[in-house]
Amino acid sequence: MIREVPVATIDDVRPGTMLMVQVDGTDILLVNLEGRLHAVQGICSHEYFELDKGFLTADSLTCALHLSRFDLETGDALDPPAELPLVKYPVTVTGDGEVVVELPEGPIPVNG
């Protein structure tokens, strides 16, 4: 079963910015790359570190602790030391600008 969880409005996450939100105590990072929205696990898959402290480039997110880059289209780790991908969650924006993340019922999957 999938649940649709409203987590923010599109005005909260403008192009080129990130926003950390919490669902059931789990951090989820919203990233707006030039108008394209992504939702990924908010904590690095390498060690416990918040990814909203990282840096955005054209199509990747760099963790600020050990500088692994993650492809935001796939979630894949592009550099060591991270090996596991970031879990991505489907995300949509409703007609009135609400950002909605699709999550499974129960525990939210996270790698790391």
List of residues contacting ligand FES (CB under 6 A): 44, 46-47, 49, 63, 65-66, 68, 81-82
CB of 95 to ligand FES, least distance (A): 36
Both tokens of 54, joined, read 């990282």
C-alpha separations of 65 from 9, 45, 47, 76, 78 in Å: 29, 12, 9, 17, 15
Both tokens of 59, joined, read 């199509």
Per the CB < 8 A criterion, the answer to whether 51 and 45 are in contact is no
Please say which residue, 82 or 101, places its beta carbon nearer to ligand FES. 82
Please say which residue, 65 or 100, places its beta carbon nearer to ligand FES. 65
C-alpha separations of 104 from 23, 40, 61, 101 in Å: 12, 14, 24, 10
Please say which residue, 64 or 100, places its beta carbon nearer to ligand FES. 64
Taking phi over 0 as left and psi of -120 to 50 as alpha, with beta for the rest, 59 belongs to alpha
CB of 94 to ligand FES, least distance (A): 32
Please say which residue, 81 or 104, places its beta carbon nearer to ligand FES. 81
CB of 65 to ligand FES, least distance (A): 4
CB of 101 to ligand FES, least distance (A): 22
